[in-house]
Copies of this chain bind each other. A is one copy, B any other.
């Protein structure tokens, strides 16, 4: 019986330019689905405590059992590796059109191992693996790589590539494809460390389905749910993710000036309607997506600068967080990040941190090659990004992220906004405390996507939960949202689809696509898959050296009351956080230090594979 997964992994060894295909146990897809689940399974097989930039670290491209099917938003792929930013597990996902090509080429995952002597581009066409010299590709931007790949291998070829920042091992360099990006945690640096400039892929094999007739029905139902929710029919199509700028600001969760406050006086200059009215020229959608949250904008100041974006995270990071309400500058800053191939969230955090260093007199412009450092100043923002991207001058340090920069500036730790080396996304945790717990315990550092509970704490139109609550109900919410996120990233679908469809519809699609699941007990089966993936990732991170003490938040969140807005006076104090962690560990079946209990490992059958 054909099924929507292939049980096949392509191993590409860059050291000797060899490749091989290996089969996966079928169990994997029942127990871990694919995507993140498959990724942690594969990553756990590499030796412990290796340097993320060593030959032993694997760069794993993963798909899920729904990738490339007609399931809505089934065009994404994931990248899994050990992160140079956190020294722990990293998964990062990217939309566009490349995911389905991996599946059509015959694979559930592609693993790059070893390291090429000199820059290389790997072209994959079904079982034909070609190693090309990368010399002419070096220093090219991801957009240029996309174009070169298509020119050389035809319009259906899809390209995943890195920019200069990845080549130079910047800690927050991403992997780009179709102008989109697996941005967080430095997967692009790992790719750069392997001298792999780009992967090009296309496939011609069909994506099989277990029960095609039922699956068509199930996918249609999921799509109808998406077509019936305000967020997915109107808000995201019309205003992209920037539809939340207003409500974030009203609710006091919009990080401003390196998280010094969470209300930005000029939010209405960068809200959804400001973008829709003044800048957005076009809407684009990823493979199989009925939503289309992506917008095309260009700078009015410099009309040749055109980007896919900006999204909410970029608007916060390169807008409010650096005191900037100039839309042209947000677009130009975003364009520079895309050109060099760096994550906008971490970039905006680094710039905000530099600005606060100077504000507090801990550094001066001379520490940054003479660039004038001032909140909201266009040149500060744009010039610092150039430094970070190219690692010239002060950029060598800045490109390593906030955690590393603190080492040069004593007493700066108290406003260094990162968890375990990953910078903070655009949700102030003192005003949405579920997100605080989430940042503290997420398996890739300060990640908003590990448990997107802010959607219930702040953005829910009904049935929300008080954002200041920190009791067991809130922990349960974080736990439930964590399950949802981990399942979505393992299927792999887009989180936004789940503002319309529910897990129930996803389960039906999984069931008819794979033939692995029965109708009954869907919730229990899915919950245990989520628990399994999160626990396996926890075990990996503990093995790599993470400790209970790392599960914390920047001192600012713990100690500094918010100075204004509806959450004025709020912190997320140490005691509150510890009590939430304790309850969370209990729900997970982990001990008081956050180590999974033996009986939990047994119950989740983690030792079986």
Measured CB to CB, the nearest residue on chain B to A501 is B250
Shortest A281–chain B CB gap in Å is: 21
Whether B230 and A235, one on each chain, are in contact in the complex, defined by CB atoms closer than 8 angstroms, is yes
Determine if A20 is an interface residue (Cβ-Cβ < 8 Å).
Answer: no
28 contacts between A and B (CB under 8 A): A221-B566, A225-B247, A225-B250, A228-B246, A228-B247, A229-B247, A230-B231, A230-B234, A230-B235, A230-B243, A230-B461, A231-B461, A234-B234, A234-B235, A234-B238, A455-B461, A455-B463, A456-B462, A459-B461, A460-B461, A460-B462, A460-B463, A461-B461, A461-B499, A463-B463, A463-B464, A463-B477, A464-B502
List the 5 closest A-B pairs by CB distance, nearest first.
Answer: A456-B463, A230-B230, A228-B247, A455-B462, A463-B463
Shortest A555–chain B CB gap in Å is: 29
Whether A465 and B462, one on each chain, are in contact in the complex, defined by CB atoms closer than 8 angstroms, is no
With a cutoff of 8 Å between Cβ atoms, the chain B residues found around residue A235 in the complex are 230, 234
CA A502 to CA B463, docked complex, whole Å: 11
Determine if A150 is an interface residue (Cβ-Cβ < 8 Å).
Answer: no
Determine if A227 is an interface residue (Cβ-Cβ < 8 Å).
Answer: yes
- Interface mask (A238-256 → B, CB under 8 Å = 1, otherwise 0): 1000010011001000000
Which among B227, B230, B246, B463 is the interface contact of A465 at CB below 8 angstroms?
B463
With a cutoff of 8 Å between Cβ atoms, the chain B residues found around residue A464 in the complex are 462-463, 502
**Which chain A residues (464-515) contact chain B, with CB distance < 8 Å?**
464-465, 477, 499-500, 502
With a cutoff of 8 Å between Cβ atoms, the chain B residues found around residue A460 in the complex are 460-463
Given A455-B463, A459-B461, A460-B460, A250–B230 Cβ distance below 8 Å? no
Determine if A224 is an interface residue (Cβ-Cβ < 8 Å).
Answer: yes
User: What residues make up the interface of A, taking CB atoms closer than 8 Å to B?
Assistant: 221, 224-225, 227-231, 234-235, 238, 243, 246-247, 250, 455-456, 459-465, 477, 499-500, 502, 566
Chain B CB within 10 A, most for which of A227, A229, A230, A460? A230
CA A228 to CA B238, docked complex, whole Å: 14
Shortest A431–chain B CB gap in Å is: 13
With a cutoff of 8 Å between Cβ atoms, the chain B residues found around residue A566 in the complex are 221
Which among B221, B225, B228, B461 is the interface contact of A229 at CB below 8 angstroms?
B461
With a cutoff of 8 Å between Cβ atoms, the chain B residues found around residue A234 in the complex are 230, 234-235, 238
With a cutoff of 8 Å between Cβ atoms, the chain B residues found around residue A499 in the complex are 461-462
CA A465 to CA B477, docked complex, whole Å: 12
With a cutoff of 8 Å between Cβ atoms, the chain B residues found around residue A462 in the complex are 455-456, 459-460, 463-464, 499
DSSP majority for the A interface?
A: helix
CA A250 to CA B500, docked complex, whole Å: 12
Measured CB to CB, the nearest residue on chain B to A498 is B462
Shortest A494–chain B CB gap in Å is: 15
Measured CB to CB, the nearest residue on chain B to A480 is B463
Beyond A462-B464, A463-B465, 6 additional pairs, beta carbon < 8 A: A227-B246, A228-B250, A229-B247, A230-B234, A459-B461, A463-B463
CA A464 to CA B231, docked complex, whole Å: 15
With a cutoff of 8 Å between Cβ atoms, the chain B residues found around residue A247 in the complex are 225, 228-229
CA A221 to CA B247, docked complex, whole Å: 11
CA A224 to CA B221, docked complex, whole Å: 34
CA A243 to CA B234, docked complex, whole Å: 12
CA A230 to CA B499, docked complex, whole Å: 12
CA A227 to CA B566, docked complex, whole Å: 17
Shortest A118–chain B CB gap in Å is: 49
CA A500 to CA B465, docked complex, whole Å: 14
With a cutoff of 8 Å between Cβ atoms, the chain B residues found around residue A461 in the complex are 229-231, 455, 459-461, 499-500
With a cutoff of 8 Å between Cβ atoms, the chain B residues found around residue A246 in the complex are 224, 227-228
Measured CB to CB, the nearest residue on chain B to A459 is B462
CA A126 to CA B163, docked complex, whole Å: 75
With a cutoff of 8 Å between Cβ atoms, the chain B residues found around residue A455 in the complex are 461-463
Shortest A259–chain B CB gap in Å is: 22
Shortest A532–chain B CB gap in Å is: 23
Shortest A127–chain B CB gap in Å is: 42
Measured CB to CB, the nearest residue on chain B to A234 is B234
With a cutoff of 8 Å between Cβ atoms, the chain B residues found around residue A456 in the complex are 462-463
Chain B CB within 10 A, most for which of A228, A229, A465? A228
With a cutoff of 8 Å between Cβ atoms, the chain B residues found around residue A231 in the complex are 230, 461
CA A221 to CA B566, docked complex, whole Å: 10
Measured CB to CB, the nearest residue on chain B to A221 is B250
Shortest A181–chain B CB gap in Å is: 25
Shortest A473–chain B CB gap in Å is: 10
Measured CB to CB, the nearest residue on chain B to A244 is B228
With a cutoff of 8 Å between Cβ atoms, the chain B residues found around residue A250 in the complex are 221, 224-225, 228
With a cutoff of 8 Å between Cβ atoms, the chain B residues found around residue A238 in the complex are 234
Shortest A503–chain B CB gap in Å is: 10
Chain B CB within 10 A, most for which of A229, A461, A499? A461
CA A231 to CA B462, docked complex, whole Å: 10
With a cutoff of 8 Å between Cβ atoms, the chain B residues found around residue A477 in the complex are 463
With a cutoff of 8 Å between Cβ atoms, the chain B residues found around residue A465 in the complex are 463
CA A461 to CA B452, docked complex, whole Å: 13
With a cutoff of 8 Å between Cβ atoms, the chain B residues found around residue A230 in the complex are 230-231, 234-235, 243, 461
With a cutoff of 8 Å between Cβ atoms, the chain B residues found around residue A500 in the complex are 461
With a cutoff of 8 Å between Cβ atoms, the chain B residues found around residue A225 in the complex are 247, 250
CA A280 to CA B459, docked complex, whole Å: 30
Measured CB to CB, the nearest residue on chain B to A247 is B228
With a cutoff of 8 Å between Cβ atoms, the chain B residues found around residue A463 in the complex are 455-456, 460, 462-465, 477
CA A477 to CA B463, docked complex, whole Å: 9
